[in-house]
Amino acid sequence: MNENTRHKTLAAATESAWDAFVIVVGMLKGGTGKTTSAWFIALYYAVVLGLPTLLLDADATSQSAYDWFKVAQAAGFEIPENLVVERYPFDDIAEHIRAKRAEFGAIVVDAGGGSARIFHEAVTEANLLLVPVAPTKIERRKLVATFDEAERAAARNEHGVTAHVVMVKADDRTSLPGRAKDQLLDPAEGEGIGPDRDEAFPLAETTIHSWVHYMEAFGEIPTELSEYAELMKELTAA
């Protein structure tokens, strides 16, 4: 075997050695912080863990995650070499994720609120579903529908998917985060999950706050990932 052939063989073996951990960030409502969360989580896997990471923008309406990438690129920000950002707002996203698993250590899917079908298909291939929600009533209105759809998708999932609600845009100077957490953990009749719609939502302990750092991050490559790093450590702990 000559040197060039050997390097190509090793490269192919390395590529095929991956079996990506797939995180779907989604909710059947727009404007809940999905894109910001997806970007920060993708950067955690790429920069902190050093894994080849794919960020898939599966939002059928806005493609904000891909726009973020293009704006950052145009502004001269250094994109991590091991981070790939793709647009894929198509119904066959499950098949696309399966095809990419062997190429990446992590795949993060920004599943926008505009298509229940794309959300469903993405969750069928997920290892972890994160549902970001701000501490307001209007933000929580679609939680039950989101978990209903996720449960249907989980029936087709062969990866043991787990789901968590993540409180985002939390301002501890107000009582909203505390009240919202109480309502998620002790929902009123008909506003929870489970057969009788009275069970608690699986709320992550880590809270993402309403820092200007997050609000102004669009189109940049942030390096301060602490809250999202804590979130992922919490949810992926053995």
Q: Are 170 and 209 in contact (CB under 8 A)?
A: yes
Residue in the block written with tokens 């794309």: 118
- Domain with 90, as residue range(s), is 16-236
User: What pLDDT is stored for residue 113 in this prediction?
Assistant: 81
Q: Is residue 78 part of a domain?
A: yes
- 6 belongs to a structural domain: no
Q: What is the pLDDT of residue 138?
A: 84
Does residue 154 lie in a domain region? yes
- Quote the pLDDT of residue 19: 93
| Total residues belonging to the chain | 238
Whether 151 shows a pLDDT value over 60: the answer reads: yes
pLDDT of 93 above 80: yes
Q: Is 25 helix (H, G, I), strand (E, B) or coil?
A: strand
Q: What pLDDT was estimated at residue 193?
A: 92
User: Rounded to two decimals, what is the model's pTM?
Assistant: 0.90
Q: Do the domain assignments include residue 195?
A: yes
Alpha helices in the chain (DSSP H): 3-16, 34-43, 64-74, 93-100, 116-123, 137-140, 143-154, 176-185, 212-215, 226-236
Q: How confident is the model at residue 7 (pLDDT cuts 50, 70, 90)?
A: very low
Which residues are CB-contacts of 237 (< 8 A; sequence separation ≥ 6)?
none
What CATH number did the domain enclosing 86 receive?
3.40.50.300
- Residue 57 above 90 pLDDT? yes
Q: Is residue 112 part of a domain?
A: yes
26-51 pLDDT tens trace? 999 877 789 999 999 999 999 999 99
Question: For the chain, what is the mean pLDDT?
Answer: 90
4 belongs to a structural domain:
no
Closest among 149, 96, 147, 102 to 125, alpha carbons compared: 96
Residue 22 region, left (φ>0) first, then alpha (ψ -120 to 50), else beta? beta
7 belongs to a structural domain? no
pLDDT greater than 80 at residue 6:
no
Please report whether residue 5 resides in a domain.
no
Give 238's pLDDT tier (boundaries 50, 70, 90).
low
pLDDT at 66: 96
Residue 209 has pLDDT above 50, yes or no: yes
Instruction: Count the domains in the chain.
Output: 1
